[in-house]
Structure formats: structure tokens, C-alpha cells
Structure 1
Amino acid sequence: MTKIRKISEVMDSDNATQIGEIPVQKMSESVYVGMCHKIGTPQQVAFRRDIGDIWELLKNQSDGGRLMSSGSRREGFRLHGSDIDNMYWLTNYRVIWDFSHSEYYNIHRQTLILCDNSESPAGFTLLWLPLERAAQIVLSSCVRMNGGLYLSSSKYRDKFNTCTAITPDSRVHGPCSSGTHGSIEYDHAYCFVSDFWPPSAASWINRCHSWPPPHVANDIVRNGCHFVAIGHKLGNQEDKEWRISFSLAEYKLVCSMNHTQFLTYGMLKLFLKEIINNGLRDEDKLLCSYHMKTAVFWAIQQNTLPHWCPQNLLVGFWVCFKLLLKWVYEGISPNFFIPENNMFLSKIHGQAQTSLFRRLYGLYEKGIALLLHSLSIRSSIIDVLCNPRLTVCTDEHTLISEAEFDVELFAEIFSTNSLHTSDLQHCMKSLHTVEQLIGSPLSQYQVVSLHKNTATILQCTAFILHNMYTNTGVNKQVYIADKLSRHMLKLASKFGYVSDMLYIAMYYYKTLRYREALSVIEMTKVKLAQPYLMYEDHVDIVRYTEAVGGQSLSTKMRQAVAGNIKLDNEICYISELLPEQQSSRQNGLLALYIPPHVLLHMLEFLSSRHVDTMRAQTALDELQVLVHHDQGLYIRDVLRDISWEILGICQQITGNIQAALYSYQQSLRQCPFHRIQIATTERIQDLHFSTSHFY
């Protein structure tokens, strides 16, 4: 049996951060550069967070509820497998810790919930409704206990998860509703909020001497905490208890880290996934990412490493690993805000604790060479081992080219441009928020994100207005709505991507202005054919840099960036795609995403049929060549279902039944990203019916 040194000796030793004769500083610099490529440079992490800020501000337009994004994606990570974590709470409910707090609220507008943590483990509490006045979904989640009405965490969680399931595969996972949307996993937690800092976390305030800075600590305390619907597994009232959540505080702490500290946190996440938990079943994974985050928090606050810099990255990692090892040895992992809450209590004890410690100690004995077992980290170490004289530059401006940076930036903007504003009132509130943000201090990333989101809101508003007034029969109203819609779409094209001009073309086609539609299509076609155009991750770096290098992000977006066209499934854009939107909406999806070149050819075909039949046939031929032969340049694999569908629709319109049937069948064979199978199947049935009827 391997002789294990005393844990005090392990904590005091620092000689394991060396491989061969390579200085740890040089090796750390190489790993720092590798982690910047894997996890992100300071600027990349900054724009991910900044863009998330704008998304959150525009998303929270509802009077009834609020949303807060949390977890690793919100923190700035984009590692494979990172899921989307969102927390939702009702705005007219507030949790208080003492009856004296009620003086800060209008009890006629807000329902107060009182914490009762007298019998709960540290970090958990019961929630009591003293006035027994609440919405039905809240009251139906309550249980009678000790003569009072208490909110049951299990009942509340189950009711909200049932009522608000986003996708058919939604399931309960801890306090969350979990599922998959496209290729991304999500966790949505339904919770309550308190404007007050928990008394049980008062000691945390007194610990904040060196980190975080006073202004961050004060901001954290001012913003209170949340309560998520899950009790302590070893408590007597697990189904009724609520866990105190510090997600907002944790996000602010992560944002206050310097980049070396952030990369240390990222390395620990990779270390956990690729080494500690590699090959284990989910039920055998005792350590989680939250333990890694907590270890970094404690290591920074306890000033274990005076200088967190690229040259000390591996030393910082080693400090955190030794702290984890100590926790597992002692069976105690203290929560960062409430140390009395031992996060190992329910899982890591007895034989499981002994086994985990031996595994971790075996890794510890390897020294920093243990990182050679990580697929994501080892290449950076090997580079230095193979070339000891290698010069490593940690300046972030040398790590990624301008074009590569812009590819990720605009992809991030597009992925968070997910406002679904099918309600005119919601659109107006969003535009009011935009108006307020214009005068506030924003980063360059927030400005360009706001521009794109504004374009989306204007586009939605334009089509909603048109659909509202088209059938009123009042000519003056129709005229005014039409004028406003056209103005908003033209304005949106000045804020958004090059491809956003296709919304104008769609509107002209929808309003029977076929020649105007073709004129816009012609201009868009020229812009989309520019050799410097960036479409998703496809870009000629040299030509892009020559054309727009060094210009503002807003200029780049307007002149050199194209994106997929998003059609909100609650809004009718053109009648030809209504069945697909309805099918997608029935299956829980909010929008269709159409490659710009596919939509361009479709609109050219549809508009030309009324003014130039030869041009219509040419457009259809070009669409067919694109869909049949594209190798991922203009049509991503996940968008092939809607692309084949659109080709089939156009072929069916011309009367080419066999070609349309083939296209619809191809659509069914693709990845069902848009869940349009109902529409596709109905179109096939219509073809069979019309063919048999004809004969």
C-alpha cells in the first residue's frame, strides 16, 4: 500500500510544480497561452459577459417575472458541454429574514415570505407565508405545518416544471427543469428572491479584507440572495426546505477575478472533467464544478498565492488542488459564504471518501505532470518540453487575429439575439429600454450587441403592425401601419447584419410589391457576394482585414457580416412558410433559422413569378444547386431540414411534383433541428392527394 504523508506536509510542500529541468514560470506561460486559446483571452471573456448583460436587460420586460442567467456560460466559459443556466422568479414576491423588513414593502402589491431556518441545516431554510395570500400556483405548493402555511420546495419545483416545460424532454434535475434545446443543454431553476443578505452569511462580509474589493463586496451584499427549490438530502424536511443560492454573488466574484485566476478556475474544470471524473458513471462522480469554483474562491481570499499572474498559473492550480485534497481528506468542503454548510456532507464520507482521497493522492504524487493526462492542457506542456528554448508571449493581442476575434464576437451576438417579441406591447417596452440604454455608459461590445438587438425588435414590430392592420378594412390605418413598418425595416437594416435587408424583401413580397422586393434582393445579392463577407465561421481573413480591419464593430457588422434569418414562430412573415412555423411552434420551438442565401433565392423565385418567369426559373435553379451541392459553406448541417423544405415548396409551386416530393423526403432525413416534420408530412400527403386526384 502506498505510504501517504500527513495532510499538513502535503499542504506545506510546493516542490511538485516542476517537470524535468523546465522552469515552472516558462511552463506556466505556455499553459496560459494554451488556456487562452481553449477558454478565451481577456477580451473574449469580456465580450461574452458584456453581451450577456444586454441580453438580460432586454429579456426582462415582463412585469410578472424576472430572469437571471447564471452558471459557467454566464461567467464567460464556452467549453464543450457548458449548458445554459437560468433562474426565474416572480417579481411580486419577496423573502424577508425578519418582520422588521416588511416596512420596506407595500404589502398590497407584494407578498412577503418569511424565512424560518431555526430547524434547518446551514445554508437551508423553510419559507413561511404569514398572510396566506398568494397566487394559485404558489398556494397549491404549500403545506400546513406547525400551524402555518409553508412553501414546499418539491411541490413548487414540480408544478413550475410541469407548467413551463420548454421542450418535450424536460425533466427535473435537482432544483431545475433540464432538457435540450437544439444541441445545447439547459437548466432552468424557479426560485424566490430576497433583497437582504442572509444573517447566516454575515461572517463572509468580515472576511473580505483582501478580496473581493470593497465595492464588489458591498454590491454583492446590496443585491441579497435567492432561494432555489431543493432541500438538504440529510435534513428532516427535505421536501419542504429551500437552499440559499448565491449565484449572483458568485457571478460578481468570478468577474472580479483577474485572468490568471479565471484560467485557474477553467483548468480545474478541465481537470475535473478530463482526469478526475473521466470514465466514471454520473452516480460515481463525487466532485463537481461547484467544488472547483469554491476552491478558487477560498484560495484567492486566503491570499495563498500573493501574485496571480501568467508565470504563476501552474502554482495557482497546484494551490487549489492541494486545498481540494485537504477537503477530501477531512471530509469537509466549506461553502464560501456559509462555511458551516459542509458541501461534502451528503456524498463524500465513509468508503466513498477514502476511495476518492486515494485517487486524488495518487494524482498528487505525479506532481504537475498529472496534467499530461488532460487532452486540453497537455499539448501546452509538451510544446515546452520538446523545445525548452521556446519563447512564449502572453500578450493577448498576439494570441488571436482580428478576424478570428470578430467571428466569435458576432456569433455570440447572434446566439444571444434570442428576443421573442411577438407581442406589440413587449416590443414597445424593449424599444423603451433601448432608448434608456443609449444614454448610458456601454462597452463597445454592448453597443454593437444593442444595435443588433434593436434591429431584431424593429423587424418584429414591423411585421406585427402589418399583420394587425391588414385585415381591419380601414385604409388610413393600413396606410399608416405600412409606412411605419417600411420605415422600421429600413432603419433596422442600418443597425444589423448585411443579411437583414432580406426582411425588407420579405415585407415587399408580403405586400405584393414584387419589383421593389426584387430591387432589394439584387442589392442584397451583391453584398452577400463580396469576397470579404463573414458568414458564421466562414471568412477570408486577408480580404476581411483589408476591407474592414481596424474599423468599429458596428461598421463591420453593417458592411461585412451575414447571419441566418430568424423567423419568430408567433409572427407571419410570408404565408408560404406558415405551416413550418406552426409545426415548429407545436413542438416547443420559438423560431425558424434560414440560411440567408436560401431565403434570398426563395424570395427571388417567389417575387419573379409575378414579373419575370425566366428570372424565376433561374432563381429556382440556383436554389436547387445550392441545396443539392453545398458542402457546409452556406448551409450548416442543422439547417438542412428547412433548406430542403424551402426547395420543395418552390418546386411544388411550379408543379414539379416529383422534384418536390424528393426534396420533402430529403428534409425528413435531415437532423430535425426545426421540428417541422408535421408540416413536411402534410405537404407530402397533399402531393400524393393532388397526384391521385389528377389521374
Structure 2
Amino acid sequence: MALQKMSESVYVGMCHKIGTPQQVASRRDIADISELLTNQHDVRRLMISGSRKEGFRFSGSDVDTMFWSTDHRVIWDFSQSAFYNIHRQVMILCDSSESPAGFTLLWLPLERAGQGVLLSCVRMNGGLFISSSKYRDYTCTAITPDSRIHGPCSTRTEGSEEYGTLDHDNAYCFVSDFWPPSAASWIDRCHSWPPPHVVNDIVRNGCHFVAIGHKLGNHEGNEWRISFSQAEYKLVYSMNHTQVLTYGLLKLFLKEIINNGLRREEDKLLCSYHMKTAVFWAIQQDTLPHWCPQNILAGFWVCFKLLLKWVYEGICPNFFIPENNMFLSKIHGQAQTSLFRRLYGLYEKGIALLLHSPSIRSSIIDVLCNPRLTVCTDEHTLISEAEFDVQLFDEIDRNDALHSSDLQHCIKIVHTVEQLIGSPLTQYQVVSLQKHTATTLQCTAFILHNISNTGVNKQMYIADKISCHMLKLAAKFGYVSDMLYIAIYYYKTFRYREALSVLEMTKVKLTQLYIMYEECVDRERYTEAVGGQSWSTKMRQAVARNIKLDYEICYISELILEQQSSRQNSWPALLIPPFILLHMLEILCSRHVDTIGAQTALNDLQALVHHDQGLYIGDICRDISWEILGICQQISRNLQAALYSYTWTSLFP
């Protein structure tokens, strides 16, 4: 009974650390919609992989993305070429005859391909093969020149005004629509898990090939590893929440206990992929009859014992191709012995070993100190409505990255949205799609104005009508702060009074006491105002976010230099707090129609920037807020004050 209560306490603690079932589901659905809309290019596709795709949000985690071309297809035998137009698509044939399990050579039988692929080829055995090392070098230098090679990936550290700096691992790979013959036994193993519809979906979608060979293979520099990333996230999606949290618990166990104190990467013999593999095998082998909150510690222990067994034997079988021993090139000899001793020392401590984990410790101690503690695992008691909504809209904003300066791309996204409207969508996908549509309409409106500003009156008139309509439409189902895009457009087209009218309406809405801006919200007032309503309604009536200005689109000339600076820092867009932009637009518009109003707005902006305590300006936007204050002071001829404001911007990293 004590172990059961401790398990329930750990389950609740992990829900707070990793997310409730609802939170994890919302992250996945929102990311999937974003990925679907992003993949509207004719020949290029991408897929987010790793823990972010699976629904985890660990701070500091890398962002893993796979890229491939749709006009290059990998086949396993010549008969499969019948499914393609070989005159339009490049056929790449697998040759696994000389490669270890899970690896292959990629042969170009017709010796034609894209330039980057041909530059990466080598002659072997009378044929032309794509070298993984050459291709990796090519993508690292030609496609992402500011990156470094990390395994099969090009890795670069990107800055984000919202989320700090993160490592982005980009794997440029090839795709096959066919399931690998070497993984055929996996299909036969799937009796109890995953369910048949998941198996069929996985097999139907084939696999990928990433640019890294086996260290002990005969052709290490030229071989490619078969990647099951797509299959893996589908497997994680099919887990119940206890299984997901067990996987998360193992990831924390690895980071906070096993690898704790190990600074060199080469000393970290076990990785997150080994943890995932252990969970997959444990679930499929039906080692634990019931994966439920009361059994999460038992599930963890089953997986830990499996890892211990693998380290002892020096064999970690790949889940899809068991003949591929993932320990073969790294965990052997003295390293294997030392790792086993360390793990066995932890095993002897029993479940108390988790007391060494800062993330888990308190959940165990709570029960040890109070054996009569009542633990409720109902997810509706674990997080309030307002707290969930903060996380939800933050997730939507993180994935709202479809800011495009390409009109054709925007049109494709709108067409895709039209098709999705009639399809079955989850509630999270609906609200996410709503915001993506608003963003795309906003980008389209400004692009259309910029390209039609040719001096031909009729064209300009028609484009203006369309742009105005799109911006008003976007404001009807976007955030409250999205009304500011209308004011930007009116200022850009010299309609200062109309802009001021929109700004006045926006100010009234933004100053409501229940408005949620970023993570700042009066939870009681928010719940009173929109509690129980749909997320679509909440977004329209009670949510404000930072305004995003894509650096490739000209919005207003006064911010062009700031957009260029944002681009140089590798930020996807310039972020401006809504009240800062509102006051700036008031100043810019009032200068033409109401000089007293302009001075009043400047005073309001200065007071906000100088005295705000995080209510209207987040920490990440302090820099741009001081910069905009300086711009407005300079426009108003207050050069001394402007110099002071510009000086303050240098104090922010």
C-alpha cells in the first residue's frame, strides 16, 4: 500500500513536471497542425522529431528536425520503381549486403540526382554511391554554414527573443515509402502492442535514412543509418499516460542521476534513445500487466532492470531491428564494466535511488513523511483552467512560425486550411488552426500591399480592399492584440485617423482586467470572464501576445532597422509587446493630426517603459521596448532623451 501511494505521488509529481494527459495531447496536436501547414512546399518536407515531437517540454532540450526532398526516393529493390515516374523522381537503391544490421549503402543506379547529392557521391564496386560523410559535410557547409556537425546532424545554436538560446539539430536525410525488409520481424512481434491500426500506419509510412555510418562497419564514411523516428513518435503517441510518464521518469533518471557529474559527452555512455528503447520493449513484452498511476514505480523498475541486463550482456537490441546491437561500438570492455557497477550500485538502493533526483525527491519524501497522505491522480485537480490556458496559448504561439514573405506559399496555406475545415479535428487543432490562419492572412495582406504598390491606381485600390478585408478577418478570430495589425496597415497607407480609432478600441480591450498577456493573468477575473468557454472564444476575447513582425516583410519604415537586427541575431521575427506598439503607433499617427495627443502618447510610452514591473513588458522584450522609446523620442526631436533610451538597450543581452 505504501508503494502504491508513493507511485501515485510520483505520478502527480511527474504530471506537474512533464504535463497532464490533456497538456501532452494539446502539445502534440498543435505541433502536428503546424508541421502539416509548414509542409506545403512541392519538393521539401520536414518533420520535428525527438522529445518535442513526443510532447515533452524539458527546459534546454535540443530542437530536432529532419529534412528531405520529395523528388528523391529510396527503394529496396528495382520492382518498387514501378510506383514512381523515374523521369521526374530520382531512384536510390539500398545495398545492405556489406553493412551491419540497421545500416545500408545508397546506390544511384541511373547516376542522376540533385547537385548536392551528386557532389556527395563516391565510386565503389563500379557504381555511384552517396557518401554519408560527404553529404553531411555538404549540408553543414552549403545549407547551414553557421552550423557544426553533431552525429548525423548539422547543429547550430539559435537565439530566440522568447525562449533564449537552443541547439537546433537538423538532419538532412532521404525517405523511403517502403518498410525495411530487415525490420519485417517487428510486424510479426506486434501481438499485444502497438494496436494493429498503429502498426499498419507505421509500415505504410516507411522510414528515413540519416547520414551516419556504423563505427565498426566496412564503409563507415559512406553508410547510412536507417531511421525509425517517424515510427517512434507514433509509438509514443499510442502509449497511455502512465507509460509516457515512465519514459519521462527514465529521461530524468538518466539526466539527474546516471549522467550527473559527467561533463564530457564521451563519458555519457547511455542516452535518451536507450531509455526509449527500454520502454518500448517493456511495453511490448507485457512485463507489467497494468500501466496505471499506482504502478508507475513498478514500470520504472521493470525498465531499469532491463537496462541493467543489457549493460551486463553488452547487448541493447534495436526495437525494430533487434540484430542491431546499439551498444556494440560504445559500451564494451572496461567502459561496460564500470557502467554496470555504477548501475548495480543504484539497483541495490532500491526505489530509494530516486531520492537522488531533484525532480522526483519531493514526491517520495511527501509520502515517507506522511504515510496517511491522500493523493488524487485526477488530472482535472492537477491544473486549473487558467493555468492550462496559459500553457495552451504559449504552445500555440511557439508553433505560430508560418510567417512567410512568399505570396504563393501563403496562398497554399490558406487552401490547406480550407481543406482542413471539413476534416475531423481535435479542439486543440481547431484553435491552433485559427491562429495560423490569422497569421497567414496578416502576412498576405502586407505582402499584397507591398507588391501592388506600383502606382497603377486600379491595382492598388483592389489590393488595398483585399488587404483591409484580410486584416479585419484575421482580427475577428486571432488574439485581441491582432487588431494592431490593422492599425499598422492604416498608418502605412496614411489613414491616420482610422488608425487612431482602431488603436482606441484596441486599448479598451487590452486594458480589461481579465486579459491574459503571455503568462501574466489575473486567474480569478479570467475565469469569471471566459471560464468554460471554447478556446477559440477565449483567444478572441481575452488573450494578448507579443506582436510578431517577420523580418522579410516591410510593415512600417520606422522599424526596418529593428527587423534587420532581429534577422542578424537569427530570430525568426521581431517581437514587440502590444502596449509598446500601440503607444508607438499613437505617436506616429497623432503627429499628423493631433500634436498634443502625440506628446501624451509619448509620455505614456515613457512611463510604461520606465516603470513597468513585467505586467505589460516581458523580460525578453525590454531591449526592443527601450529601443522603440528612443525611436519615438528621436522622431519628437528629444535627442537627449533618445540617447539615454538607446544607451539602456545595451544593458540587455
- What TM-score bracket applies, with the shorter chain setting the length? over 0.9
Q: Deviations over 1:647-693 (max 9, x none)?
A: 1110110111111112112212212xxxxxxxxxxxxxxxxxxxxxx
Normalised to the residue count of structure 1, the TM-score between the two structures is 0.92
How far has the Cα of 1:113 moved from its partner? 0.1
Match of 2:114 in 1: 135
Q: Does 1:94 align with 2:73?
A: yes
Match of 2:512 in 1: 530
Match of 1:217 in 2: 199
Q: Does 1:580 align with 2:562?
A: yes
Alignment of 1:221-260 (within 5 A): 221-260=203-242
CA contact (8 A) 2:208 2:227 kept: yes
Letter of the 2:155 partner, please give it.
Answer: S
Match of 1:459 in 2: 442
Partner Cα distance (1:539, 1:425) in 2:
38
CA contact (8 A) 2:277 2:319 kept: yes
Q: Does 1:33 align with 2:12?
A: yes
CA contact (8 A) 1:191 1:227 kept: yes
How far has the Cα of 1:618 moved from its partner? 1.2
Match of 1:115 in 2: 94
CA contact (8 A) 2:158 2:570 kept: no
Alignment of 1:161-560 (within 5 A): 161-165=140-144, 168=146, 170-182=147-159, 183=164, 184-281=166-263, 282-470=265-453, 472-560=454-542
Partner Cα distance (1:217, 1:615) in 2:
65
% identity of equivalent residues: 81
Q: Does 1:646 align with 2:628?
A: yes
How far has the Cα of 1:587 moved from its partner? 4.4
Q: Deviations over 1:88-122 (max 9, x none)?
A: 00010000000110111100110000000100111
Letter of the 1:103 partner, please give it.
Answer: A
Letter of the 2:297 partner, please give it.
Answer: L
How far has the Cα of 1:610 moved from its partner? 0.8
CA contact (8 A) 1:310 1:394 kept: yes
CA contact (8 A) 1:154 1:240 kept: yes
Partner Cα distance (1:399, 1:550) in 2:
17
Match of 1:17 in 2: none
Partner Cα distance (1:633, 1:280) in 2:
40
Match of 1:658 among 640, 648, 652: 640
Letter of the 1:622 partner, please give it.
Answer: D
Alignment of 1:605-644 (within 5 A): 605-644=587-626
How far has the Cα of 1:625 moved from its partner? 1.5
Partner Cα distance (1:530, 1:226) in 2:
50
Match of 2:40 among 49, 61, 69: 61
Partner Cα distance (1:331, 1:636) in 2:
50
Unmatched segments (≥5 aa) in structure 1: 1-21, 672-695
How far has the Cα of 1:586 moved from its partner? 4.0
Partner Cα distance (1:473, 1:515) in 2:
23
Partner Cα distance (2:306, 2:239) in 1:
19
How far has the Cα of 1:582 moved from its partner? 2.1
SS of structure 2 residue aligned to 1:237: coil
How far has the Cα of 1:624 moved from its partner? 1.2
Partner Cα distance (1:636, 1:350) in 2:
52
Partner Cα distance (1:584, 1:41) in 2:
35
Letter of the 1:147 partner, please give it.
Answer: G
Alignment of 1:138-157 (within 5 A): 138-157=117-136
CA contact (8 A) 1:141 1:159 kept: yes
Partner Cα distance (2:208, 2:114) in 1:
19
Unmatched segments (≥5 aa) in structure 2: none
Letter of the 1:80 partner, please give it.
Answer: S
SS of structure 2 residue aligned to 1:388: coil
Letter of the 1:338 partner, please give it.
Answer: I
Match of 1:43 in 2: 22
SS of structure 1 residue aligned to 2:173: strand
Partner Cα distance (2:553, 2:538) in 1:
29
CA contact (8 A) 1:570 1:590 kept: no
Match of 1:562 among 514, 537, 544: 544
Partner Cα distance (1:368, 1:108) in 2:
60
How far has the Cα of 1:585 moved from its partner? 2.5
Partner Cα distance (1:464, 1:80) in 2:
36
Partner Cα distance (1:212, 1:359) in 2:
33
SS of structure 1 residue aligned to 2:387: helix
Partner Cα distance (2:567, 2:257) in 1:
41
CA contact (8 A) 2:354 2:361 kept: yes
Q: Deviations over 1:216-254 (max 9, x none)?
A: 011101100000001111212111010000000000000
Match of 1:690 in 2: none
> Which stretch of structure 1 is more off in the superposition, 633-642 or 649-658?
633-642
Q: Deviations over 1:405-460 (max 9, x none)?
A: 00000000000000131111011001000001001000000000000000000000
How far has the Cα of 1:645 moved from its partner? 1.1
Partner Cα distance (2:580, 2:325) in 1:
56
CA contact (8 A) 2:2 2:371 kept: no
SS of structure 2 residue aligned to 1:87: strand
Matched positions, count: 647
